[in-house]
Amino acid sequence: MPTFRYSAINAATGRECAGRIDGRSAEDVTRTLKSRGLAPTSLTCIEELVEAGTRSVHGRRRPEGNGSAGIRREPAAVVAPRTKRWRGVAFGRPVSARALALFTRQLATLVRAGMPLVRGLEVLARQESGPRFREIVNDLAATIRAGESLSEALAQHPRVFDRLYVSMARAGEAGGVLHVVLERLAAFLEKSARLKARIAAAMTYPVIVLALAGGIVAALMVFVVPRFEQIFSGLLKGQPLPTLTRLVLGVSGIFQHHGGWCLALVAIGVMAFALVRRTARGRSAIDWAKLHCPVVGPLLLKTAIARFSRTLGTLLASGVPILQALLITRDTSGNTQVSAAIALVHERVKAGENVAGPLAASGVFPAMVVGLAEVGEETGKLPEMLGRIADAYEEEVDNAVAGLTAMIEPVLIVVLAVLVGTVVLALFLPIISVIQYLQ
* Residue ending a domain, choose from 159, 181, 203: 181
Q: Amino acid identity of 199? A: I
- Cα–Cα distance between 360 and 209 in angstroms, integer? 41
Residues 349 and 239 in one domain: yes
Largest CA distance in the chain: 115
CATH of the domain at 159: 1.20.81.30
d(CA 364, CA 173): 34
Residue 294 sits in the same domain as residue 145: no
Same-domain check for residues 279 and 247: yes
Distances in Å between the Cα of 335 and the Cα atoms of 37, 298, 303 are 32, 13, 10
Flag whether 75 is in a domain: no
Domain count, the chain: 3
Q: Is there a domain that residue 78 lies in?
A: no
Domain membership of residue 73 (yes or no) is: no
In this structure, is residue 250 part of a structural domain? yes
How many other C-beta atoms are found inside a 10 Å radius of the C-beta of residue 355? 22
Say whether both 171 and 213 belong to one domain.
Answer: no
Q: Under 8 Å CB-to-CB from 119, ≥6 apart: which residues?
A: 67
Cα distance between residue 28 and residue 35, in whole Å? 11
Does residue 39 lie in a domain region? yes
pLDDT of residue 13: 54
200 shares a domain with 117? no
Regarding whether 169 and 233 lie in a shared domain, the answer is: no
- Residue that finishes a domain, picked among 165, 181, 197: 181
Query: Is 77 among the domain residues?
Result: no
The Cβ of residue 308 has, within 10 Å, a number of other Cβ atoms equal to 30
Is 159 part of any domain? yes
Query: In terms of domains, do 194 and 163 share one?
Result: no
In this structure, the answer to whether residues 215 and 121 fall within a common structural domain is no
Could you tell me whether strands 3-10 and 38-45 are parallel, antiparallel, or unpaired per DSSP bridges?
A: antiparallel
Q: How many CA atoms lie within 13 A of 219 on its CB side?
A: 7
Q: What integer pLDDT is reported at residue 94 of this predicted model?
A: 66
Segments forming the whole domain that contains residue 188 = 182-439
Same domain, 304 and 314: yes
Q: Which residues, including other chains, have CB under 8 Å from residue 297's CB and lie 6 or more apart?
A: 290, 291
> Are 144 and 218 in a shared domain?
no
Question: Do 171 and 191 belong together in one domain?
Answer: no
Consecutive 10-residue runs of the chain (439 residues): their mean pLDDT? 75 66 82 79 64 42 39 36 40 72 92 87 90 91 87 90 86 80 88 82 82 84 81 71 85 82 89 89 89 86 90 86 88 86 91 89 89 91 91 88 82 85 85 71
* b/e code 153-176 from CB counts within 10 Å (16+ = b): bbbbbeebbeebbbbbbbbbbbbe
- Picking from 151, 181, 211, the residue at the C-terminal end of a domain is 181
pLDDT at 28: 82
CA trace torsion 349, 351, 352, 353 (10° rounding): -50
Across 24-54, b (16+ Cβ under 10 Å) vs e yields eebeebbebbeeeebbbbbbbbeebbeebee
| pLDDT at residue 70, as a whole number | 39
> Are 57 and 164 found together in one domain?
no
Strands 16-22 and 38-45: unpaired
Task: Write down the pLDDT at residue 104.
Answer: 93
